[in-house]
Amino acid sequence: MDYIMYEFQTDSTTSEMLIAFLAELPFDTFEEDKNVLKAYIPLSEHNSNIEKEVTALQSLFQFDFNIKNIPYQNWNKIWESNFEPITVGNFCAIRADFHPQFPNFNHQITINPEMAFGTGHHATTFMMIELMKNIDFSNKKVLDYGCGTGILAILAAKMGSKDIDAVDIEKPAYFNTIENNKINDVHQNINTYCGTLENIPKENTYDIILANINRNVILATLDIIYEKLNRGGTILFSGFLKNDTNTLKEALSKKGFYIGSAKNKEKWIALKAYKRY
């Protein structure tokens, strides 16, 4: 998929506020580096109104910005150059195949990254893994919703799940997940789908759902998520900002979820919730 990148020159405080506003639009990835904020939006979602809305924010905050096209072939290079190994205590290490192995970890995952999520998503992945650490995955039916490179599905398999569905709307993510499943020798446990929740067999329900996407997708599909989660099941959410915590909690409670523990890292939040009996 081709993307449009908005590159903002601003300070860290304004950057945080900008992310809150931009997250209301179809921007799905953010990168921060000193006084630069990069926000990515799929080319298919971009139009003149988006640029007008961004320009209008200059009446509220002080910043300059420019716009760049990011073709898919360059997107892969950005992802690979930005990807750094992720280590969560001594519980799990995630590395690309061009990184050296990490000794003394309970679980080690090797991926061949071919799709960009932005460095900001490392915080959400980290928190999802932290929350997964204390969940019993043995023989549980699991859904990795928005699987990306398949990291969470692979970890669930290594933690004992024998039946996992992984789905992503992006074809590169679909093929990359299949590849990474084979690299980690868990391909027999994971069924990979390209599309949305509607592309998963209707009868499939889950004991655990891992949803590391973004606020807009979570809220838009909350009804389906609720139906897919078995009673008493556990769901982990991440990919949304601190400012969105109350909005998401209210939506979950209204739907019938019980809110459990929460984690925050940098500007991001992860929640554990349960479906009431």
Domain positions in the chain: 3-70, 121-275
How far apart, in Å, are the Cα atoms of 249 and each of 21, 24, 90, 239?
19, 17, 31, 14
The pLDDT value recorded for residue 229 is 97
Residue-level length of the chain = 277
Phi, psi dihedrals of residue 158, rounded to the nearest 5°? -65, -25
Say how far apart CA 199 and CA 219 lie, in whole Å.
18
Side by side, which strands form the sheet with 92-96? Answer: 86-88, 92-96, 107-111
Q: Which tokens in the block code for residue 78?
A: 């950005």
pTM for this model (two decimals) = 0.78
Q: How far is CA 73 from the centre of its chain?
A: 21
Helices (H), 159-256: 171-183, 215-220, 222-228, 245-255
Closest by CA to 164, choosing from 197, 135, 146, 187, is: 187
Give Cβ neighbours of residue 182 (< 8 Å, ≥ 6 apart): none
From first CA to last CA, the distance across the chain in angstroms is 41
The pLDDT value recorded for residue 107 is 95
Q: How far is CA 195 from the centre of its chain?
A: 15
Q: Which CATH architecture has domain 3-70?
A: 2-Layer Sandwich (3.30)
Closest by CA to 40, choosing from 118, 115, 114, 104, is: 118
Q: Which tokens in the block code for residue 161?
A: 């799940």
Phi, psi dihedrals of residue 178, rounded to the nearest 5°? -60, -45
* 121-275 is a CATH 3.40.50.150 domain: yes
Say how far apart CA 254 and CA 266 lie, in whole Å.
27
The pLDDT value recorded for residue 93 is 92
Mean pLDDT by groups of 10 residues along the chain of 277 residues: 90 83 84 85 92 93 92 66 81 87 90 56 85 96 93 96 93 88 95 94 97 89 96 94 89 94 90 90
Amino acid at residue number 167:
V
